Structure 1
Amino acid sequence: MTATPPVQPTPSPAPRVGGLVLAAGAGSRMGHRPKCLLQIDGVSLLERQLQALSLAGVTPIAVVLGHHAERILEDGALARWAAQPVRNPQPDDGHVSSLRVGLRALPPGLDAVVVALADQPLIDVHAVQALLKAFAQRPAGTELLQPSVQGLPGNPVVFSGAVMVQILAGDDHMGVRPWQRVHPAAVYHWETPHGHYRLDVDNEEDRLAVEQLTGQSLRWPDDLERSTRPSP
Structure 2
Amino acid sequence: MAHPHSGPHARPSKEPVVAGLLLAAGGGRRLGGRPKALLEHRGRPLVEHAVRVLRDGGCGPIHVVLGAASDRVRERAELAGCVLVDNPDWEQGMGSSLRAGLESLAGTGADAALVSLVDQPGIGAAAVSRVRAAYGSRDALAAAAYEGERGHPVLFGADHWKGVAASAVGDRGARAYLQEHAASVALIECGDIAQAYDIDTAEDLTHLEQGRSGT
For 1:172 and 1:124, locate their aligned partners in 2 and report how far apart those are by CA, in whole Å. Answer: 25
RMSD after superposition: 2.6
Q: How far did 1:77 drift?
A: 2.2
Are 1:117 and 1:156, in contact at CA under 8 Å, matched by a contact in 2? Answer: yes
What's the counterpart of residue 159 of structure 2? 162
Are 2:31 and 2:200, in contact at CA under 8 Å, matched by a contact in 1? Answer: yes
What's the counterpart of residue 36 of structure 1? 37
Q: How far did 1:195 drift?
A: 6.4
**Distance change in 2, residues 1:60/1:166 (3 Å):** same
Q: How far did 1:171 drift?
A: 5.6
For the residue of structure 2 that corresponds to 1:98, the secondary structure is helix
How is 1:110-121 mapped onto 2 (pairs within 5 angstroms)?
110-121=110-121
**Distance change in 2, residues 1:56/1:171 (3 Å):** closer
For 1:203 and 1:59, locate their aligned partners in 2 and report how far apart those are by CA, in whole Å. Answer: 31
What's the counterpart of residue 228 of structure 1? none
Are 1:149 and 1:195, in contact at CA under 8 Å, matched by a contact in 2? Answer: no
How is 1:88-99 mapped onto 2 (pairs within 5 angstroms)?
88-99=87-98
Q: Is 2:82 the counterpart of 1:86?
A: no
Q: Is 2:214 the counterpart of 1:217?
A: no
Q: Is 2:127 the counterpart of 1:127?
A: yes
Q: How far did 1:99 drift?
A: 0.4
2:191 pairs with one of 193, 206, 210: 193
Are 2:127 and 2:144, in contact at CA under 8 Å, matched by a contact in 1? Answer: no
For the residue of structure 1 that corresponds to 2:123, the secondary structure is coil
For the residue of structure 1 that corresponds to 2:152, the secondary structure is coil
**Distance change in 2, residues 1:98/1:192 (3 Å):** same
**Distance change in 2, residues 1:178/1:218 (3 Å):** farther
Unmatched tracts of structure 2, length 5 or more: none
For 2:56 and 2:104, locate their aligned partners in 1 and report how far apart those are by CA, in whole Å. Answer: 21
For the residue of structure 1 that corresponds to 2:144, the secondary structure is strand
Q: Which moved more, 1:53-62 or 1:94-103?
A: 53-62
Are 1:147 and 1:155, in contact at CA under 8 Å, matched by a contact in 2? Answer: yes
In proportion to residue count, which structure has more helix? 1
TM-score of the two chains, using structure 1 as the length reference? 0.77
What's the counterpart of residue 201 of structure 2? 203
Q: How far did 1:150 drift?
A: 1.6
**Distance change in 2, residues 1:44/1:172 (3 Å):** closer
**Distance change in 2, residues 1:159/1:183 (3 Å):** same
Q: How far did 1:107 drift?
A: 3.6
What's the counterpart of residue 50 of structure 1? 51
Q: How far did 1:126 drift?
A: 2.4
For 1:157 and 1:218, locate their aligned partners in 2 and report how far apart those are by CA, in whole Å. Answer: 30
Q: Is 2:96 the counterpart of 1:103?
A: no
Q: Percent identity?
A: 34
TM-score of the two chains, using structure 2 as the length reference? 0.83
Are 2:167 and 2:174, in contact at CA under 8 Å, matched by a contact in 1? Answer: no
**Distance change in 2, residues 1:205/1:172 (3 Å):** closer
For 1:66 and 1:196, locate their aligned partners in 2 and report how far apart those are by CA, in whole Å. Answer: 27
For 2:179 and 2:42, locate their aligned partners in 1 and report how far apart those are by CA, in whole Å. Answer: 40
Q: How many residues align?
A: 204
| Residues 56-86 of structure 1: CA deviation (Å, up to 9, x unaligned) | 33222221111111111111322x3x11121
| Residues 90-129 of structure 1: CA deviation (Å, up to 9, x unaligned) | 1111111110011101143321101110112133322321
Are 1:60 and 1:106, in contact at CA under 8 Å, matched by a contact in 2? Answer: no
Are 2:23 and 2:64, in contact at CA under 8 Å, matched by a contact in 1? Answer: yes
